[in-house]
Structures are given as C-alpha cells and as structure tokens.
C-alpha cells in the first residue's frame, strides 16, 4: 500500500483556497468496472455477507459535504487507487 499527501492551489474556486489531496494505492486484486461503478452505492458490497455496504457510501458523503471529491481507479488483477481531494480550511 502507498499513501501520498500533497497541497495545490485550487483552479476553479476562491483565490485563497488550497486543495489537499491524498492518494491511497494498492497492488491487490483490483475490481471490475461493474464493481467500480457501484462502489459508492448505499448497501453495495463486493464482500457478500462480509460487508455492510455503508463504509464507502458514508466516506463519499462526508467528503462531498466538505466540498471535496473522492475518485477511484482500478484494474482487475492490478490494484486500486483512491484519490480524495478537499479544500484546506484552517481553523480560526
């Protein structure tokens, strides 16, 4: 597993906004296109009875509520990469 974190100026938002992006990649079994398209659907699980199907749904909702986005790229047999990008907001 590899985890990366970086900041960059936002291109389409407020002038003083910085985006924080973190990327999590693995070299696991990957997933099919069908699984990838359903991944963030409530109660969808590729684990059968081993999963509840709420984890990635909730993660996506939290990221979106904070003005961010979460994306996944995956190739069956080669692994997956999740990218989360959110505006950096400093506490006052």
CA distance 84 to 42: 19
Q: What is the pLDDT of residues 26-60, one digit of tens each?
A: 999 999 999 999 999 999 988 877 888 899 999 99
CA distance 21 to 77: 25
What confidence category does residue 91 fall into, taking pLDDT thresholds of 50, 70 and 90? low
What confidence category does residue 21 fall into, taking pLDDT thresholds of 50, 70 and 90? very high
- The pLDDT assigned to 17 comes to 79
CA distance 76 to 61: 26
**Residue located via tokens 């906004």:** 17
Residue 14 predicted with pLDDT over 70:
no
CA distance 28 to 6: 24
What's the chain's average pLDDT?
A: 88
């Amino acid at each position: 597993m590899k985890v990366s974190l970086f900041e960059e100026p936002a291109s389409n938002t407020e002038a003083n906004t910085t985006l924080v992006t973190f990327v999590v990649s693995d070299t696991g079994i990957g997933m099919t296109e069908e699984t990838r398209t359903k991944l963030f659907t409530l109660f969808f699980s590729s684990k059968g009875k081993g999963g509840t199907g709420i984890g990635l749904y909730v993660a996506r909702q939290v990221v979106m509520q904070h003005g961010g986005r979460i994306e996944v790229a995956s190739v069956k047999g080669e692994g997956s990469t999740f990218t989360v990008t959110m505006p950096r907001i400093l506490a006052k």
